[in-house]
Amino acid sequence: TERSAADYLVREGIDIERVHFVGNVMIDTLHYNLSRAQPIGDTLAEYGIDPRIADDPAGFALVTLHRPSNVDDPDILEGIVGCLGQISCELPLIFPIHPRTRARLEDFGLMERMASNRIMCTPPMGYLQLLGVMKESRVVLTDSGGIQEETTALGIPCVTLRENTERPITVTEGGNVLVGHDPRRIMAAVGEAISRRRGEPRRPEYWDGKASQRIATILRDWLPS
C-alpha cells in the first residue's frame, strides 16, 4: 500500500522480487462508493438531527471512538469526553457511538455529559452513511485505522487518539496527527486543524482508486496461460 511497507516485508524474510507495490485497495473502495454515499442531510434527519448543521459555514467535527486503550480506562475516557465538550463550543460534533464505547460511558457515569445539543450522539452508522458524513466534515477525531486512510484520501484533517499507527503514510503524506489521549495534545491538534483551510488532498502514490486493476494485471501475468 506504500513503498515503506516493502522494508517490513524484507525484514520478515520475504524476497523483494515477490513484492509488488500496487497502492491501497481500501481507497479503491472509497472512490467506488463516494457517489453512492448517503447524503448527510438524509442521515441526520434519520437520527432526528437538524440537517442544517451541515450548512453551517463553521462546519462540524466527526468523532469515532472504540479502542479499549481509550474507552476501558475511566480516567482516560473522562479526559476525552472533557475534550469533546470543549471542542463542541467551537464546532458541533457528530458522534456515532460504538456499542463498546456506549457501555463504558454508561458504566463510568459519563453518558449524561454527552447530553448537549452541540454533541449529536447516534447509534453506529453504516458505511455509506458514515462516508456521507465524513466527506463533509471539517475535522475527524478517531482511533480507527481505516478512517485515517480515508481522511487522507479525502484531504480531511484527522486527529488520531493513538500513540502509533499502522498507516504511517497518513502522517508523513496526509493530514493525520497522532495525539494519544492527552487532552492538551488533543485540543492543540484540533485547534490547528480548525484554523487551517481545507485544501486539495495530498494523495499518496497510487492511492488513485486503481490498485485492484494493478493487482489483476500482476496476477494475469503470473498465472499460467
Beta carbons within 8 Å of 169's beta carbon, 6+ residues apart? 1, 2, 4, 152, 204
**Helix or strand run (H / E) with residue 159:** strand 158-160
For residue 181, indicate whether it is catalytic: no
Q: Of these residues, 31, 66, 98, 181, which one is catalytic?
A: 66
Q: Name the phi and psi angles at 119, rounded to 5.
A: -120, 105
**Helix or strand run (H / E) with residue 176:** strand 176-178
**Helix or strand run (H / E) with residue 151:** helix 145-154
3-state secondary structure (DSSP) of residue 94:
strand
Q: Which residues are catalytic?
A: 66
